[in-house]
Amino acid sequence: MSLAFSSALATIILAYCAWKILNWAWLKPKKLENFLRQQGFSGNSYKIFHGDMKDMSLMLKEAKARPISVSDDIVPRILPYHHHIISKYGKKSFKWMGPRPSINVQDPKLIREILLKHDIFQKPKGNSLSKLVVNGMVMYEGEQWSKVRKIANPAFHQDKLKDMLPKMYLSCNHMIRKLFEIAASDEESFELDIWPHIQALAADVISRTAFGSNYDDGRKIFELIREQSHLLIEVSQFDYIPGWRFLPTKPNRKLKANHHEMRRLMKGIIKKREEALRIGKASNDDLLGLLMESNYKEIQEKESGMSIEEVIEECKLFYLAGQETTASLLVWVLIMLCMHPIWQERARQEVFQVLGNKEPKFDELNRLKMVGKIIYEVFRIYSPVSFIFRTNVEETKLGDFILPPGVLLSLPIILVHHDHEYWGDDAKVFNPDRFSEGVSKAAKNNEVSFFPFGGGPRICIGQNFALMEVKLALAMILQNFSFQLSPTYAHAPSRGITVYPQHGAHMILNKL
C-alpha cells in the first residue's frame, strides 16, 4: 500500500469521524430543536455537548443545600430544574439531556397513549455504567421483555404473595423488637431517626422473600446494590461530560468491581438452585425459587427460557426495586401521619378494630380500607419514582404533534400527581378521602393521572408485593406505637434512586 493511498485513507477516516462527532454534538440537536420549535414547543437554546445538564446539576445541588418548611411545595426541591423549565416555558416545553431534547409530557391522555404503546415508545437505553446497577426486565424490549415478564409473572401471583406474608411478618416483628430495645425499659417514649430502621426492614424483607434459604448471601448482595445506587447518583452528576463514564475514576472503578462481586455471589446461589432443581429438591417458597421453577418449565416446554445472566439481572432488580421503593413509601407514610395526627389515629383505630393485637393475616390486610387510602395518598404526594422516560425509535405522531426519532419523553409522575388541573384546588393537600371510591375515581378525569407504578402492559410487576409489605409494616407499627416528628426533624425530600428524606426521619415514638 503506497504512502499516498494510506494518507488519503487516513484523511477520509478522520473526516468521517469528525463529521459523525459534529452531527452528534451539533447538527442533529439543532435540527431537532428547530423541529420542536416549529410545533410550538419552548425551551432553552441548545448548548454544545452538555445542553442543560450542567445547569440541572447545579440547581439540584442548590436545592439540596437547605431543608424546607413542612408546608412548602416539595416539587421545586425534588425536581428543581424541571420545575424551573415549566415555570419559564409552560407545560409544552423541553430541556436538554446532553445533545438530546427531553419533551415534558403532562397530559394524562398522552401519558396513557405512551404507556399503552410500549412497542413504539420504548425505554431509553442506559449507558454502560447505569446498566451495572439497573438492567433486567425494566430495561428489556421486544421479545426479550415478553419472555422474561412471562416467566417472572407466576412469582407475583396473589396466592404466591400470600405465602410470603409470614416471612414479611418475621422481618417486621424483628424491627418492632429492635425499636423496643432502643428505649430504656422504664421509658414510655423515645427519640430516634427511623429512616435507617425502615431501610433495614425493607432489605430484610427482600432478603427473606427473594433468597429464603440463602438469606445471609442475600444480605451481602443487598449491601453491594445499596452502595451501587449511591455510586450511580454520584457519577450521574458528570453525565454531561462526554466520555466521563469511560474514565478510570474511583467511583467508576468501584461500580465495576461491585458488579463483578455481585455476579459472583448471585451466580453461586443460582448454580445451587439449578442443581437442586435437577435432583428434585428445589425450594420454591421464595422469589428466586419461583422464578427458577417457572424458567425451568419454560426451558422444558419451549427451550426458550432465561439465561443465567438474565436471572442475575432479575435478582438485582428484586433488590433495587423491592428495597428502594417500599422503604421510600413507608417512611413518607410515617412522616405524613406525624404531620396529620388525626389521620394517624383513624388508621390506628381501624387497625385495632380489624386486627386487634394479633398477627395480621392476608385477608385482614385487605380489609384495612382507611390504611389503604392513606398509602395511596402518600404515593400520590411522595411518589418514590418522580419521573419516567420513554423514547421513540422512528418518527411518530403523539396527540396533535409529530415526534422526530430520538427524542426523549419525560413523564413527570410527581408533577402530574400535584397538578391542580387533574386533582383540584387541594392537589397539594394531604387528603386520603380522595381515594374513597378507589384509584380510578380519585382524580377529576378517568385518564392516567395516578401512575406511581407506571402503567400499561409494562406496569411494575411488584406493585402488589410493595403495597402488601407497606400495609403490613404500617399496621404493626400502629399496633405498638404512636409517633410524632422530633423538634430536630429537618424536612428535606430529595431525589436519589427514589425520593428519600435527605436528613433522615427523626421522630418521637410513644409505646402503647
Q: Cell triple for residue 109?
A: 391522555
The answer to whether 84 and 419 are in contact (CB under 8 A) is no
CA torsion through residues 276, 280, 281, 285, sign = positive
What span, in angstroms and rounded, lies between the C-alpha atoms of 334 and 330? 6
Residues 6+ apart with CB under 8 A from 2: none
What span, in angstroms and rounded, lies between the C-alpha atoms of 423 and 419? 6
Burial of 121 (0-12, 13-18, 19+ CB in 10 A): buried
Q: Where are the beta strands (DSSP E) in 222-294?
A: none
How many other C-beta atoms are found inside a 10 Å radius of the C-beta of residue 304? 11
Burial of 171 (0-12, 13-18, 19+ CB in 10 A): buried
Q: Cell triple for residue 222?
A: 443487598
What span, in angstroms and rounded, lies between the C-alpha atoms of 296 and 306? 9
Q: Which is it for strands 189-193 and 506-511: parallel, antiparallel or unpaired? A: antiparallel
Burial of 131 (0-12, 13-18, 19+ CB in 10 A): middle
Within its chain, how far is the Cα of 260 from the centroid? 23
Q: Which is it for strands 408-411 and 499-501: parallel, antiparallel or unpaired? A: unpaired
Q: Which is it for strands 100-104 and 408-411: parallel, antiparallel or unpaired? A: parallel
Tell which residue, 490, 457, 474, has the closest CA to residue 379.
474
Which single residue is written with the C-alpha cell 426521619? Answer: 505
What span, in angstroms and rounded, lies between the C-alpha atoms of 509 and 512? 9
How many other C-beta atoms are found inside a 10 Å radius of the C-beta of residue 144? 13
Q: Cell triple for residue 505?
A: 426521619
Which single residue is written with the C-alpha cell 420545575? Answer: 83
17 is in an annotated binding site: no
Q: Which residues contribute to the annotated binding site for heme?
A: 460
Q: Which residues contribute to the annotated binding site?
A: 460
